[in-house]
Amino acid sequence: MGSSYEFSRNGNKDVSLQELRDRLAEFAQVRGWDQYHSPRNLLLALVGEVGELSEIFQWKGEVARGLPDWSSDDKEHLEEEISDVLLYLIQLADVCGLDLGQAALSKIVKNARKYPVTNQTPAAASTN
């Protein structure tokens, strides 16, 4: 089952969290930046990027799925800021010694147990 917003993924390769982690670790190391990558430094950098992401959405009112009214510049800006959040999140998990991909899979399983699918019709479920 998929989302209906997959127009941009056609033919793209499947990027793994481990690949991104390895690239980021090398990126930081060859620049001598890893010395600054303490957990709380990275966490605050993450918060900073979440702020930049929020600024894109701040004066827009409700935004439709798929961003039909956005310019390509706005979409590119959004891609950059969402990516920045992801990249700091991956680095934060890395310096904390966590396997982010495994943690995410485990959390989905945990959520599935916490919120079992009922036999409700979608209409009934939506009133929860």
- Binders of a copy of itself among 89-128, rule CB under 8 A? 89, 92-108, 110-112, 115, 117, 120, 122-123, 125-126
Residue 93, token pair as written in the block: 């998990």
Task: Classify residue 90 as exposed, middle or buried by CB count within 10 Å of its CB (0-12, 13-18, 19+).
Answer: buried
CB of 71 to a copy of itself, least distance (A): 14
Q: How many residues bind a copy of itself (CB under 8 A)?
A: 98
CB of 69 to a copy of itself, least distance (A): 12
Residue pair 90/24 in contact (Cβ under 8 Å)? The answer is: yes
Q: Which is nearer to a copy of itself, 12 or 71 (CB)?
A: 12
Pick out residues in 52-91 that bind a copy of itself (CB under 8 A): 52-55, 57-67, 75, 78-80, 82-87, 89
Angle at CA 99, nearest 5°, toward 98 and 103?
A: 100
Q: Which is nearer to a copy of itself, 63 or 71 (CB)?
A: 63
Q: Which is nearer to a copy of itself, 15 or 71 (CB)?
A: 15
To 10 degrees, the CA torsion angle through 67, 69, 74, 75? 30
**Gap between the Cα atoms of 28 and 36, Å rounded:** 9
CB of 43 to a copy of itself, least distance (A): 6
Pick out residues in 15-54 that bind a copy of itself (CB under 8 A): 15-27, 29-33, 35-41, 43-54
Look at the block and give the residue holding tokens 């709380």. Answer: 40
